[in-house]
Structure 1
Amino acid sequence: MPELSKKPLILLLISVTPFFKKSKTTSVQVIVNTKKVYDTLDQLAAAIAAANPDFSSTVMVGIQQGGALVSQYLYELLLKNNPHASSLEHGKLDITFYRDDVRNKILAPDPMHLPFSIEGKTVILVDDVLFTGRTIKAALDSLFDYGRPERVQLCVLVDRKEHRQFPIQPDYTGITIPSNRTDKLKMVITQDNEPQVVLFIP
């Protein structure tokens, strides 16, 4: 499995801490272990390749923060295993100022990297966890400020579909996990630079 660079790892660890700082005793429970994450990423990459025989007009965009990490893994897998994916471009999307649930909070946007046009292209939008659908709605709003794609495909590592608030469904789903509405699930990188999906426990 391709190894992520140190920069995204540092960004993730810095960004996760403030989001869950409501309790100083917050702990985590591993919901999806590293092997299962890798197996699921392999399956997602294969499904994306099968549905997109030509990547010449296709770009992959990961939503900061977790989605950017998932998309990096998928992008490297696609390049490694599919010769026709050599033309696939990859970027990262920050949606901080498009969210409708953080209006009274201090905003700290993440790095944005879209070094290509999305006009008339197929955009594979990637996130780590699909929950209410608000993040995806914000991502779509942000994307369309950069251009009008031909179509958008949604890929998620984890789907918590029983809590949807918007009519948004993924084209590619890794794992569907039953959960309580108050649960906070996220993909994180361990100290050994390995991905896991964890539940944050106050």
Structure 2
Amino acid sequence: MQKRLLLNSQHLKITISRLCHQLIENHDDFSHSVILGMQPKGIFLAERIKSELEKITGKPIQLGYLDTTFYRDDFRRRNEVITANETKVPFIIEDKKVILIDDVLYTGRTVRAAMDAMIAYGRPAKVELLILIDRIHSRDIPVEASYVGKKVNTIQSQKVLVELKEQNKKTDNIWLIDKEKIK
């Protein structure tokens, strides 16, 4: 299979705008809603969503970063040492609507770990999941996103490669690529 472009910079901008409008339909004025970007790559999308929501609504949106490293069910199974990322949740999520944001939904294991990690900050009233790319038919755990940028049917030997300007890339591009072709 060839490297295939899923979203370019323009399509990503349109997709983020659509996702923000869907959030606005379900979250009124965001006074009881918070965003948690999942480390490491979900934080870039979360920051863009927050910025766009604030531009559209004129209201401040609370944003935090959530690392799931030590909550993963495969944490002790790995041979290499895993470096944790920053968790920065400067608010309590008790009785709040939490919007978890990540770039790619694959097996669902990272989302499960995020649910465990979240509890340290309170018991949310509701948890929703916003995903840029949903790799359908690949779940190990029954997790479904509330908001999806694009659904993609993939096979095990493929990977979704997210390249964003925040990661020092020249342009935003989301690719479907064979794992062995990633350099």
**Which TM bucket (shorter chain)?**
0.7 to 0.9
- Per the alignment, residue 197 of structure 1 pairs with 174
Using the size of structure 1 for normalisation, the TM-score is: 0.80
What SS is found at the alignment partner of 2:36? Answer: strand
Residue ranges of structure 2 left out of the alignment (5+ in a row): none
- Corresponding position: 1:44 with 2:19: yes
Work out the CA distance in 1 between the residues paired with 2:174 and 2:159.
10
Q: Which runs of 4+ in 1 moved over 4 A?
A: 190-193
Q: Which runs of 5+ in 1 are unaligned?
A: 1-27
Aligned to 1:59: 34
Task: Supply the RMSD in Å over aligned alpha carbons.
Answer: 1.7
1:126 corresponds in structure 2 to 101
The verdict on how the C-alpha distance between 1:198 and 1:79 changes in structure 2, with shifts beyond 3 A counting, is: same
The number of residues matched between the two structures is 173
Asked if the contact 1:128–1:186 (Cα under 8 Å) also holds between the matched residues in 2, the reply is no
1:163 aligns with 2:138: yes
Cα deviation, 1:65-99, whole Å, max 9, x if unaligned, reads 2211111110000000113xx24201111111111
- CA-to-aligned-CA distance 1:43-71 (integer Å, 9 cap, x gap): 10110011111211110010012211111
Determine which of 47, 63, 68 is the counterpart of 2:43. Answer: 68
Distance 1:136 1:32 in 2: 23
- Normalising by the residue count of structure 2, what TM-score does the alignment of the two structures yield? 0.87
CA contact (8 A) 1:66 1:188 kept: no
Alignment deviations for residues 132-190 of structure 1 (CA, whole Å, 9 cap, x no partner): 10010011110012211111011001101211111111111110011112322132225
Q: Which amino acid aligns with 2:49?
A: L
Is the contact between residue 163 and residue 169 of structure 2 (CA under 8 Å) also seen in structure 1? no
1:193 Cα offset (Å): 4.8
Identity %: 32
